[in-house]
Amino acid sequence: MLKDYKSTIFTLEHADNVDVTTWALPDGAITRLGKGNSVTMTLSPDGTLLAIGSYLGMWLYDVTECKPLSLWEVGTQISAVSFSTCGKWIATSSWGGPIKIWDVKSEKCLVELPRDGSGGNTEFVFSPKRDWFAVGGTNRSSNPDEKLYCSVEVWQLSDNLQENTNSNHPTRKSLYVGTNPLAFSPDGKLLAFASPDGAPEPFNTDGYPVIDGRWLLDSSQVVVYELVTGKHLTTLDGGKDVSSISFSPCGKYMTVCDRNGITTVWNVPTQPVSELQPWHQYKVYQEINENDYHCISYAPESRLLSTVYDGNNGTISVNNLDNNEVLYQTSKETGPYNPDYLHGTRLAFESENNVHIWIEGEDQLISLGHIAGYFVGPLKFSLDGKALITTNRFDGILTWDITHPNDPPEIFKPLGRKANSDGWGERYFSVEVSAEGRCFVTSGDESSIRLWELGTDKPIASFSIQAEVSDVVFYPTGNLLACIDKNGKIYIWDIATSEIYDTYTTEKTHTTPFITFSPDGTYLISHSRQNSGQIYDVVQSKPLDRYSSEDNIQFFAFSPDSSQIWCDWRGWNSPTIDLWDIHQDEEVLEIPKPEWWESKYIEAFALSTCGQYIACSPDSWTRDGYICVWDIRKGDEPIATFELTEGVSSLVFSPDNTLLASAGTSGAILLWDLTPYL
């Protein structure tokens, strides 16, 4: 069974200053590269702590000392975090899991609030006196036929949650039709939240409001309730999909911003009215740009600030709306990594390889050295085994020095983001390491494919295309380049002349297809995780007639001499992993899958360079993952089985077979020591 990593908090104090790359590792792993793909982050009200929710867990940082303090809920994908106004409590949630409220100092979970599994994108906020706790969330969908939860819950909290008695347990006082964002008034008497325009009366499933999915495409109104009485005070126009709501510190104004940057300020009545009625509109600010994401907040002295993520150039700016003054703007490209917008004079955001905090009036950013994770594709080791090279379609080629796992990866992305574009101009498909140790990278946009040598600023060659490309591979001997487009058409180019060497269309269009050359370059496989593949003889320019997509073969890897191929027969729920002789058209070896894999197909596969070891991981939609390693000379039982708190998407052996690298659903990379098993 898996160790219960999910219930632990790993701290610097407990670790005796140990390197954080070894915190809370599963048995057999020796280090972790990256700290998990970030989802959300928030500063404590006094700015001394930063909580970063990730697919690995929640990291807590001391901002003053610029060091990590602890790693909470390891193995849990943290979707939202929020501090109480006093900073003594913090709330966390995972995708569809319960919301937990913790005591920050003691690191004790005070209470768990149930949350229906359908409520994925959750936001929550404490009232100023932490006597109320509001939770909002829904799964927004473009499917008009889908029924979705759309609820805002309000819980009443006791100040003595830590006593853990029935009388102190939170009580759910209200349940409304609504969604994010949420905001309490400074006196804690009012709650405002977004609501879909024209939403029908909900019906209840397990006590939660459910509405038609089509109403969730735009939350274009804001509703305000009085907490003690539960009275609906007003419904206000929120523009084109509400992005943020904020009350002024004085309580006189409530401001609403939509996704286009139109910001509306409303007067808050001094006395509640007896009947539902509109509030008086005080002021409107126009900042229309559909490519930007806008969030408004008030500074302590009631200055109204707008924080904007510019979708064209990838920068973040903080602006004073009253005088159009730009208080801060990032100088380099960042990403919309769910920055903490809501503290007025402080801003936490993530760049490619760090997390930064801007404080108004300070000359320099505070940088925490937080190396985020990346969802990567295939992994490659350098020839000396000291570097691990990974590919991310949009973040570039990442090179990790595994002898210094705390260092950030070097990122190769020569063309960067395409200016004035809704998307990224360059995608990075693959990296190959030649016999001389040189690394070659393939990339492309909507009109061309490029071949680079890692670290150079000009491509070696460029090739024109007509359809969106799914994958590109470099020929083992270095003179050909092959790509497959979304229609299943394959192009093979001569690199020296940039002319087409061969082209053909696979017999069945794949979903997100991939291609792989055999080690000697004789064969090219086209395959995907969803559909069966096809083997093409590059030398004779024809597909092998003995293999068809109807065979439901999932191809994994060629043997070192290219005469055999590891595969799985997906459609039959095959209990074995098979080694197939291409020329003889017969099976030469079977490796039984562990019984506990049941009927799961293989998600990740790796073959050692010597051809004697294989590593596999089954498909897993849960937080529990497995890696099995076999020595094919020693029988049917794995020589090693590793258990993880995440699924595995990619595997690779080091050149000397003593290490195994795995990339998983947390966005971090794990290195496993195979020495005890060889």
505-534 per-position pLDDT tens digit = 886 555 667 888 999 989 998 876 555 568
User: How far apart are the C-alpha atoms of 633 and 443, rounded to whole Å?
Assistant: 39
Q: What pLDDT is stored for residue 639 in this prediction?
A: 95
Per residue in 592-649, pLDDT tens? 988 887 667 788 999 999 999 999 998 775 567 899 999 999 878 999 999 998 889 8
> Which residues lie below 8 Å from residue 344, measured CB to CB, with a gap of 6+?
297, 298, 299, 300, 303, 305
pLDDT band at 492 (very low <50, low <70, confident <90, very high): very high
Higher pLDDT, 157 or 549: 157
Please tell me whether residue 33 adopts helix, strand or coil conformation: strand
Q: What pLDDT is stored for residue 2 in this prediction?
A: 29
What domains can be seen in the chain, in order of their start residue? 88-288 (2.130.10.10), 290-371 (2.40.10)
User: How far apart are the C-alpha atoms of 409 and 34, rounded to whole Å?
Assistant: 9
CB atoms within 10 A of CB 307: 25
User: How far apart are the C-alpha atoms of 352 and 301, rounded to whole Å?
Assistant: 33
Higher pLDDT, 196 or 91: 91
Sign (positive/negative) of CA torsion 413, 415, 421, 424?
A: negative
User: How far apart are the C-alpha atoms of 644 and 462, rounded to whole Å?
Assistant: 41
User: What is the arithmetic mean of pLDDT over 199-205?
Assistant: 51
Specify whether the CB–CB gap between 630 and 678 falls below 8 A. no
pLDDT band at 123 (very low <50, low <70, confident <90, very high): confident
Question: Are β-strands 292-298 and 469-474 bridged in parallel, bridged antiparallel, or unpaired?
Answer: unpaired
Per residue in 352-375, pLDDT tens? 788 999 998 888 889 998 988 888
Q: Which of 31-45, 175-189, 287-301, 436-450 has the lowest mean pLDDT?
A: 287-301
**How would you classify residue 188: left for phi > 0, otherwise alpha for psi between -120 and 50, otherwise beta?**
left
Closest CA to 428 of 401, 459, 403, 383: 459
Q: What pLDDT is stored for residue 206 in this prediction?
A: 52
Tokens of residue 269, six digits: 């009545």
pLDDT at 15 over 50: no
Per residue in 414-433, pLDDT tens? 877 654 444 556 788 888 88
Closest CA to 77 of 52, 56, 97, 91: 56
User: What is the arithmetic mean of pLDDT over 306-318?
Assistant: 82
User: How far apart are the C-alpha atoms of 328 and 347, rounded to whole Å?
Assistant: 10
Query: How is residue 15 annotated by DSSP?
Result: H
Q: What pLDDT is stored for residue 1 in this prediction?
A: 26
Instruction: Calculate what percentage of the chain has a pLDDT beyond 90.
Output: 37
